[in-house]
A and B are shown apart, each in its own frame.
Chain A
Amino acid sequence: MAFFFEVLIGGLLAGVMYTMVALGFVLIYKASGVFNFAQGSMVLFAALTLVTLLEHGLAFPWALGASAAVMLVVAVAIERVVLRPLVHAPPMALFLATLGLAFVLEGLAQLAYGTQVHGLELGISDAPIAGLPIEISKFDLFAAGVAAALVAAIGILFQTTRAGVGLRAVADDPLAAVAVGLDLRRLWAIAWGGAGLVALVAGLLWGARVGVQFSLSLVVLKALPVLIIGGFSSIGGVIAGGLIVGASEKLAEVYVGSHMGGGIESWFPYVLAVGFLLARPTGLFGERLVERV
């Protein structure tokens, strides 16, 4: 039984890491209805910026602050240069624009920072915590704590601040939002800035886990099943989705994978997501659109 819990908890902690990546998508999707394909590239860009600054001898807090500033500038620039001209374009055009943006960002990252793999050491060991009946990695616990804090901060932002209420309002009905005097440009810049900061935190933790390299932008692929299961527009949904994906893939690997030659961890979440698409296309917490005709 202890083994089962060990697998389960390991999975849930991994799931929190997926949630963190998915959160960046939700921020932008809620505010502008855009599926931002470039979120993964933003994660990569942020991690590379941080690592490069660290390797140039900057102390960690300064490097983190400078990277955050860079990500804010990048995010606001994206809003201004890519999205604003496309305000009235159909969602597909916006989606394709973010797809193009993903390539531009990755290209820029290569140009600016080179292509070698960097290690990122946060000084937190990946060893199990001593004195517990089951093995839990210190790093996993730390990562989960950071992610939980981030999720809580974003939740508070959406619930209580004017910008948060404004973002919810814009997502609900952009026309009405303009009519009550909300500044769409400002709100979009805030949403993209937020997604940039989320990308930095995700890049930091994922980079420390798997190394800062170009495949980092692929972590977004794991965010897809999280979003499908949880719903694209719900913060609670991506938390649940991330935990479900993390726990189920680890449990499936250990208990099912052993009967079929292993390696099912990498594709199990997608099968789960397809199942959700068939049974509950809006995800666990997604809103069903009711249109009056």
Chain B
Amino acid sequence: MSSPRPFLEVHAVSLSFDGVRALDQVSFDVKQGEVCALIGPNGAGKSSMVNIISGLYKAGSGTVRFEGKVLRRAAELSALGIARTFQNVALFRGMTVLENVALGNDFRSRASFLEQAFSVGRARGEERQAREDADEVLALLEISDHRDDVVGRLPYGLQKRVELARALAPRPKLLLLDEPMAGMTFDEKRDMCRFVIDAHETLGTTVVLIEHDLGVVMDLSDHVIVLDHGRKIADAAPEAVRTDLAVIEAYVGSFAG
């Protein structure tokens, strides 16, 4: 399965905020079907990178291509087959779990306004389909019991899971996870790891994730990219990165300081 173009291709991306360089000429490729981890100390530019890939930030220079195509607006993201989650849970708090997850699939809808208003014609089938797809993902992530609960009232760990479910609902080709396990208990982390692996294996989703827990990173990923102060300092298999002195230095430096 060697395609002429890489699946996700990040080429010489730079980004500055008011003169502060957040990313400096970062390039890397992600192959289809792999789990790729972005690691590095706080302020290394990991979230900025994910925000650029998902179109929320515009790169100062450089290009991102997904299956050879350049993303122009964040609104096109879902249609290209990319989904993401956020470091701070970004959910529709006033809606139920099912409504949240079904909205993940919403961009596919083709029914007209009137069909929707009266729930007839295409709208009917689409609604049913969206619900079925959502239910399937809820079952996969073991949150079917909370299907009709209002999201804002769920505990944090479950909210993170609902966000993952919403991202998976449209069966994306590429899943971007910004610290999916941040602030979780040990048990919740273990569950979350299992769900990411499940999604990866059963749905064949390519995953790019940001994670601080090196244990999690080593277990989950096939490919690790290390960023530090906006520059890429390592890009290899997890075992190779583990022994890379530069990484240890970056981590020790950031944690000791």
Contact = CB atoms under 8 A, between A and B. Distances in A.
Contacts of A168: 92, 94-95
B179 to A, nearest CB: 15
B107 interface: yes
Interface stretch (A39-47, A74-82, A181-189): A181-189
B111 interface: yes
A160 B118 CA distance: 8
A290 B93 CA distance: 10
B106 A287 contact: no
A173 B162 CA distance: 15
Contacts of B157: none
A163 interface: yes
A283 B92 CA distance: 21
Contact of B94 (A181, A185, A287): A287
A166 B106 contact: yes
Given A165-B103, A182-B75, A182-B107, A176 B91 contact: yes
B256 interface: no
Interface in B75-98: 75-79, 83-86, 90-95
Contacts of B167: 179
B8 to A, nearest CB: 17
A173 B94 CA distance: 10
B75 A183 contact: yes
Contacts of B56: 175, 178
A180 interface: yes
Interface in B127-178: 152, 156, 166-167
B255 interface: no
A84 interface: no
Given A169-B103, A292-B156, A180 B117 contact: no
Contact of B90 (A156, A163, A166, A175): A175
Nearest to B101: A180
Interface of B: 54, 56, 74-79, 83-86, 90-95, 99, 103-104, 106-107, 109, 111, 113, 116-119, 152, 156, 166-167
12 contacts: A156-B117, A161-B113, A165-B99, A169-B103, A172-B95, A173-B93, A179-B83, A179-B167, A180-B83, A180-B106, A181-B76, A290-B152
List of 6 A-B pairs having minimum Cβ-Cβ separation, nearest first = A181-B78, A181-B107, A176-B90, A172-B92, A161-B116, A183-B75
Given A157-B117, A179-B54, 20 more contacts: A160-B118, A161-B117, A162-B111, A162-B116, A165-B106, A166-B106, A168-B94, A168-B95, A169-B95, A169-B103, A172-B92, A172-B95, A173-B91, A176-B86, A179-B83, A180-B106, A181-B77, A182-B75, A182-B106, A183-B75
